[in-house]
Chains A and B, each alone.
Chain A
Amino acid sequence: MDLRFDPELSTFRSEVRAFIAANLPPDIAHRGWHDYHAYRPDIQRWTEILCKQGWSAPHWPVEYGGTGWSPIQNFIWHEELRLAGAPVHDRSSLELVGPVIYTFGTQQQKDYFLPKILSGEHWWCQGFSEPGSGSDLARLRTRADVDGDHYVVNGQKTWTSEAHWADWIFTLVRTDQEVKPQAGISFLLIDMKSEGLTRRPIWSIDEGLTLNETFFDNVRVPKENLVGEAGKGWGYAKFLLTNERTMSAEVPHSKRDIVQLKRIAAQTMKNGKPLSDDPIFRSKIAKAEIDVTALEWAVLRLLFAKGEHAETAVASVVKTRGAELRQTLAELSAQALGDHGIAMTPDPESEHVMRSDGLAPPIMEEGVGIVSKAIFRRATTIYGGTNEIQRTLIAKTVLGL
């Protein structure tokens, strides 16, 4: 056991910090710090810059365009991105479908799709959930029937995050109606421009747009867009969801939120003094920071873990805790804002705003985006598998109950 950080890591941190400072356009950083929903033009511009440096998917294997950085280096990279206000990258592509394609895809799929993800040319969304199958994903009903060289897809997906920006959607579809639910599922890649594919935006309670419904009406998909083997889609999805859960601890983001919370508390007043001097509020910030530290060390253990023992369950531990902390931090930041902490403040720069009535308060710069975030983060304990599902997973796989 050696619980010291390798001194070379601080050199690495300085290097990536300097790169970000020199290359992240200030207007993107400004919007990124507000932390509203994904804004493709900003993410795409930033991805192009990173791609030139060879850093747009650092965690990927080197042969597919990764950097060969260690897991802890990738973690530091994310910390520096969040602290600099870099926009949260296109997670569906980089964390979810990319690894599925390079692990299970054909050479042709790798050659076609991976470079376009690295360059930011392709943006992906995830088509898993359906109106009748959320937590019970295995009962999905969207079907894909073989017709010559094609699958014909019919059905409906929902909660398709960022579908309004996406070029492609990766889906779980039922290709075999006869076998057990999990065994009949396949992993199919579908062009969003396909005929018969339509989309409806779903406004969320922060009055922002990230969710969509996606409808498939006799959508013809070339058979070569099947990933791996037909009927094995459930296994690929489990691989992908474990990646999603590990990422969803979101420690770098929460550490950034602590920085922002402290800045807000230093700038807002309570009875003639900064709120950060108030003993009650100060101890709340301290508690949040301690909670994030505990989660950070849980994630560090995961990053340095050797072997794959109960990996899924450990991912569920950090996902559950991380999702709850993200909610606490955003609500605490809203509380720090005081009266404007309950004001509706839709993204002032977004083209996707449910209602543009100009009725936003004269809010302090550091507080822009906070309230929307506090409201939207009720979703963190729902998406990627609800916290109830995660706890059941922990009970079954670790505790053997």
Chain B
Amino acid sequence: MEFESTPEQEAIADSVRNFVKREYDFEQRQALAASTDGLSRDNWATYAELGWLGAGLSEDAGGYGGSSVEYAIIAEQLGKALALEPFVATVTTLKTLEALGTAPQAKELAERIVTGETIAILAHGEAAARGDPRIVEAVAAHANGVWTISGRKSLIVGAPGADLLLVSAGVDEGLGLFVVPRDANGLHISPYRTVDNFRVADLGFDSVAAEPIATGTTVLPAIEIGIDHGTVTLCAEAVGAMDAALWMTRDYLKTRQQFGQPIGNFQALQHRMADMLIQCELARSMLFQGLHALGLEDNARRRGVSATKVTIAEAGLFVGRQAIQLHGAIGMTEECAIGHYYKRLFAIAHLHGDGDTHLERFASLAN
């Protein structure tokens, strides 16, 4: 066992640090959040050029040969800067394609995603599923050699800016995964913002013509693998955001004066900060555990990933809430960065299934 990064992994982390230093100070981030697209295509090209999109994908699947450890390293640094591009959604998509394995279309599409040529987003989640990937009500019908999809997908991160959607839908046996261009007839996109200013959409499909990538009983297990990898990557992003919020708050306590001294002198606040640090350390530890679990057989993987999400959702909310609390009223303002960390952690707690969903999944699986 080795918890330290390799020199190659450290170089990746550095490349992300340099990027966010250049492109993602808080003012730049807020300007991007307020722009029409809410993200930067130029940034996305940089993600691709610097090799981040393929960094955690096997060569067989069209990537550069790493594992989700590389994705986690990248996501942590992006999380510190609250970067707005759909990195986690793309990891989820790529890992789903990787898990589908043999389909030649899957590799060809993954390569286009990795080079930044195409933004393709997995559209799997549905409102009533509440983060349980096994629940899919959308259906696909096959007639006269043409597949059509009907149903609804919910809270699809990155969908408003995607070129292609990879849509799951029920077929006679199991699920199908289908490619749908974003301008397809019968596809209704309702774009909106989440509290953290990520662009998402609800999708309605009314007999939308679609190209299958794969159909059958192997599709759901592949999607579950993809989502689990995405969940751990999301947790890495949360760890980055928590770390940034923790130290930003520490710095504030050293400078903010009340009662004739820095408020960091008060033991009540020191203990709160110590509790925040404890939560950050537990979260980081569970991130390692989650990365470990991704290499295990199906049920052990599911348990390990759910344990990670339960811990990090809760820890992230605690750190985010307390970061605002220790800032006082200034932390409630839009112009202060700390509240935006809370909002990102609030969103992350829900995304990919909230704490309750993952607690239930963990409990339902035998050890």
Contact of B329 among A275, A371, A383 (CB under 8 A): A383
A303 at the interface (CB under 8 A from B): no
- The answer to whether A339 touches B155 (Cβ under 8 A) is yes
From residue 235 to 271 of chain B, which have CB atoms closer than 8 A to chain A?
A: 257-260, 263, 266, 268-269
Tell me if B158 counts as interface (CB < 8 A to partner A): no
- Does B34 lie within 8 Å of A280, measured CB to CB? no
Given that A204-B332, A204-B334, A341-B350 are known contacts, is A281 also in contact with B356, CB under 8 Å in the complex? yes
Contact of B192 among A139, A361, A376 (CB under 8 A): A361
Q: Is A301 an interface residue (CB 8 A)?
A: no
CA distance A355 to B30 in the complex (A): 12
Count chain B CB atoms within 10 A of each CB in A132, A270, A335 and give the residue with the most.
Answer: A270
Closest chain B residue to A363 by CB distance? B192
Q: Are A203 and B258 in contact (CB under 8 A)?
A: no
When distances are taken between beta carbons in the complex, the residues of chain B under 8 Å from A341 are: 350
Min C-beta distance of A177 to chain B, whole Å: 17
- Comparing A143-151, A222-230, A384-392, the segment that makes contact with chain B is A384-392
The reply to whether A271 and B192 form a contact with Cβ atoms under 8 Å apart is no
Q: By the criterion CB–CB under 8 Å, are A379 and B329 in contact?
A: yes
**A168 adjacent to chain B (CB < 8 Å):** no
Task: Give the distance in Å from the alpha carbon of A280 to the alpha carbon of B259 in the complex.
Answer: 45
Complex formed: what's the CA distance from A22 to B129 in Å?
42
Closest to A279 in B: B360
For the complex, give the distance between the alpha carbons of A324 and B259 in Å.
25
Q: List which A252-275 residues lie within 8 A (CB) of chain B.
A: 268-272, 275
CB neighbours (8 Å) of B324 from chain A are: 378, 382
- Inter-subunit contact A382/B194 (CB<8 Å): no
The proximity string for B residues 196-228 relative to A, scoring 1 for CB distances below 8 Å and 0 otherwise, is 110110100000000000000000000000000
- Complexed CA–CA distance, A269 and B154 (Å): 13
With A129-B329, A159-B329, A271-B129: A371-B269 Cβ-Cβ less than 8 Å: no
Interface string of A326-364 (1 = CB under 8 A from B): 010000000100111111100000000011010111100
Q: Kindly report which residue of chain A lies nearest to residue B354, judged by CB atoms.
A: A335
Is B195 on the interface with A (CB-CB < 8 A)?
yes
Decide yes or no whether B162 CB sits under 8 A from chain A.
no
B339 contacts the other chain (CB 8 A): yes
Q: Are A371 and B334 in touch, CB under 8 angstroms?
A: no
Q: Which residue of B lies closest to A360 (CB)?
A: B192
Residue B346 lies at the interface, judged by CB distance under 8 Å to chain A: yes
Tally of chain B residues near chain A (CB < 8 A)? 51
CB–CB B34/A355 < 8 A = yes
Question: Which of B154, B325, B332, B350 counts the most A-chain CB atoms under 10 A from its CB?
Answer: B332
Asked if A211 and B192 make an inter-chain contact with CB atoms under 8 angstroms apart, the answer reads no
Q: Report the Cα distance A103→B132, complex, angstroms.
A: 59
A360 CA to B343 CA, complexed, in Å:
16
Determine the distance from Cα of A374 to Cα of B129 in the docked complex, in whole angstroms. Answer: 23
A83 within 8 Å of B (CB atoms):
no
Distance, CA A117 to CA B103, complexed state (A) = 73
Residue B185 at the A interface, CB < 8 A? no
Question: At the interface, yes or no: A182 with Cβ under 8 Å from chain B?
Answer: no
Give the interface residue-count category, chain A: 35 or more
Interface flag for A133 (CB, 8 Å): yes
Closest to B327 in A: A382
The reply on B190 being an interface residue by CB < 8 A is: yes
User: Complex formed: what's the CA distance from A371 to B339 in Å?
Assistant: 14
Does A207 make an interface contact (CB < 8 A)? yes
Partner among A344, A381, A391, A392 whose Cβ is within 8 Å of the Cβ of B325: A381
The verdict on B229 contacting chain A, using a C-beta distance below 8 Å, is no
Known: A271-B129, A335-B354, A342-B347. A359 touches B193 (CB 8 A): yes
Beyond A134-B328, A270-B128, A272-B128, whether A205 also contacts B268 by CB under 8 A is: no
- Could you tell me the distance between the alpha carbons of A387 and B340 in the complex, rounded to whole angstroms? 22
Quick one: which of B293-328 are within 8 Å of A by CB? 321, 324-325, 328
Q: Given the complex of chains A and B, what is the CA–CA distance between A355 and B263 in angstroms?
A: 34
Check: B50 CB closer than 8 A to any chain A CB: no
Q: Is the CB of A271 within 8 A of B135?
A: yes
Residue of A nearest to B197 (CB): A344
Q: Say whether B135 contacts A362, CB under 8 Å.
A: no
Taken together as a complex, chains A and B put the C-alpha atoms of A338 and B155 apart, in Å, by 10
Q: Is A366 an interface residue (CB 8 A)?
A: no
Chain A residues lying within 8 Å of B51, measured Cβ to Cβ, are: none
In contact, B259 and A202 (Cβ under 8 angstroms) = no
Q: Across the interface, do B192 and A342 meet the contact criterion of CB distance under 8 Å? A: no
Q: Which residues of B contact A359 (CB under 8 A)?
A: 191-193, 199
Q: Which residues of A contact B128 (CB under 8 A)?
A: 269-272
Q: Is the CB of B11 closer than 8 A to any CB of chain A? A: no
What are the 3 closest A-B residue pairs judged by CB atoms, nearest first?
A205-B339, A339-B155, A136-B258
Query: What 17 additional pairs, Cβ within 8 angstroms, besides A344-B192, A357-B193?
Result: A134-B328, A207-B334, A270-B130, A271-B130, A284-B356, A342-B194, A342-B346, A343-B193, A359-B199, A378-B331, A378-B342, A381-B325, A382-B331, A383-B329, A386-B325, A388-B268, A388-B269
Provide a sorted-by-A list of 14 A–B residue pairs whose CB atoms are within 8 angstroms: A134-B329, A159-B329, A203-B333, A271-B129, A327-B321, A339-B155, A341-B350, A342-B196, A357-B193, A378-B321, A378-B325, A382-B325, A382-B331, A391-B268
